[in-house]
Structure 1
Amino acid sequence: MRRSRSLVAISAVLGGVLMLTACGGGDDAKPKGSEAGKAQADVDAAAAKDTSKAKITITPKDGATNVGLNDAANVAVADGTLTQVELKTSEGTAVAGKIAADGKSWKPDAALKRSTKYALAATAKDADGREAHENASFTTISPENSFVGSFIPDEGQTVGVGMPVSITFNKPIQDKKAVQAAISVTSSSGQEVVGHWFGAQRLDFRPEQYWQANSTVTMKLALEGVQGAPGVQGVQNKTVNFKIGRSQVSTVDTKTKKMTVTRDGAVIKTIPISAGSPENPTYNGQMVISEKFKETRMDGSTVGFKDSEGKGEYDIKDVPHAMRLSQSGTFIHGNYWGADSVFGSANTSHGCVGLNDAKGAGDPNQPAAWFFDNSLIGDVVNVVNSPDKVVKPDNGLNGWNMGWAEWKAGSAA
């Protein structure tokens, strides 16, 4: 009200000058001090009566820093309805948002950007149509002060019964308990789901046994503002739902050199295979298909198979129907370069499981093509009777090779 008083005072002075000029009055024409105060009070009271009753609240407060990216910015109004809200970056780029149907709140349509200064302006009206305005500016959290988690599976995917929820954080997590407490994974089957930490940056969730077929799994991340390490907080709030498909578990027996494909408890196919040679045996254990490629390059030098000149012992640029089983390079894939006679009779690979196939991945009648077409990400391939060790639980998505008690012991919850 300081500005109003100044304007009134100036008006009073100018008014007095005009009265002296026009009327030629003397000192008796000037209002006494008490009368001037009463006049100002009347003006203030009249202005107050004309002020909007709408009360706008902007979150975060003006000047805030390290603001979250998801639910931190919003506008609410009491005793009125919002009519306009504008959120812009310091460069002037507008951020889309929506006023709620009842006009009482507003929020952005999507997450904000990190290390960005924003200006927010809101307008509301009360029941008598009188406007109220509010403004605030704030700066969002920087990459240096925040962490995010990349995760699989993604929203809407249908996966096999062996697919864990696997979250990889872009920074080491020191307060594992706080971070894990902000993440929930549940199944429509009612199975107990427990998280297990593999080091400081990976957290996997699974039940004791494979997921029940045709169930739905929900993962909720509520990491906004959760401190993962001193001065480093989460910026994600997200809910993901994915579907568990039919139950398919395939057993590769390296002694009989056959793979038995079992779906929903019934054997649907037996396929001759060629596993790792005695010099380079295939890992034992339950391995989960994590990636599928109709064709891909396999270079032995990338997984330690090098000749005397440092070149790969093999470099095949068009391996057909390849599906990853471990991060260290174990695949189950088509093989067109081996003689038909090796499948079912000899183990000849560098550790992968080979199925007979045709060059170009174009023949649907080949065993490898059938298995590729009938497999989902998350299906289990269980290798038995190999002279090699069991694959490590964190080598790929292979936590099923850890007992339930040990798995639970790795939880921070």
Structure 2
Amino acid sequence: MPSFSLLQLLSVLGILVSGVGCTLNSGQNGALVIRHGGTYSGHYESTDPDQPCIRIATTEPVVLDGCELRGPGRLIDATNGGARLTVRNCRGRGLLPAVDNRARGRFLEINDGVSLLAENNYLEHTAGLLVYRWQGDGTPQQTIVVRFNQARNIDGRFRNGSGAKVSFLQLNEVHGLTGIDISWNQVINEPNQSMVEDNINLHNSSGTPGRPLRVHHNYIQGAYPVPATAPRFTGSGITTDGDAASALTTTAYVEAYENSIVSTCNAAMNIAAGHHNYYHHNRIMHSGLLPDGTRLPASYAGMSIFNAYKKPTAVFFANRITDNTVGYVSWGRQSPFPDRHDLSTDACPACTGTQHLPNPVLWAQETRELANWQNHLLAQGFRVGPRQTAKAAVATYSNPQ
């Protein structure tokens, strides 16, 4: 029979605290600490940026289903290692920490995990998802799947200005893992309401030659400096990244296809590190404008392949970009049309088969791209975001044993 702390027992029994399902605020026991496998749901809130809403402290399989989470720190913390975690139908909202030089926490952070399935969640004003290192063997039960999620305003801003570089999803030091699938996620970042770097950042992470790391059918809108009219920015829609010194530990065997990338300053899709990374049949659209017609000066190029870390040819090689549809406005440049820079003129020798959208690329076209993607989603019988709403003012636990 599992043992519980008093706060956990209240959560299990669904007892109301402070008028919310189970409101767990700051202090030593500020998080719901899950020490046994099972299925959990309910409302959890923290006011302390150092206390997550839920902390996973077991290597037994845990399912979070229909949770409502709010807090300035991590909403779900699975950093102890060995987690076997499913997160589905959950809603998470990040709150601005009441201290300087501190960004909102991540919706989910998992370190040295064994399995992760994150699907049909909604996250707003969080620092996204981070997966750091991996223990799983790449079988369907021990890999990483992030799909059908809906994110709004990935947000690394500090309350006192500036901010942290955060992503909707970053994989960091996940090497040679089969079965990774990042698909059918909808990510929308609004100018001056968000601060995202690369929406999807693959840092020193890889699939395998026979089973690449797949990033496909995602809709990514928005990546801007703060303020959005600032002249410099280093973010993107999707980027392979990493400073690893060997072919075994750099980002490799990534296949990114049929993604829609809209209105991302600096770049839409970059291959900036690694080998055998392949981008194909993606749609990229960037009008270089805010909705009111103001120009975005921090726009550079739609796609590129460049050795950002100046690694030797034994580490950076065999990357390619083919058969993409691109219309990327970059003011004052001319590739292939005036005020365009679809393919970086100095960093895309292996970019072939590009279909260039005609000029002009308008903001109204960007708005239609979301509707087109959503129609495609529905045609496949899929939907993004939670499939059900968490039961109000109730926290439940069930042990599958």
Shorter chain as denominator, the TM-score bin is under 0.3
Q: Say which structure is richer in helix.
A: 1
Q: TM-score, normalised by structure 2?
A: 0.22
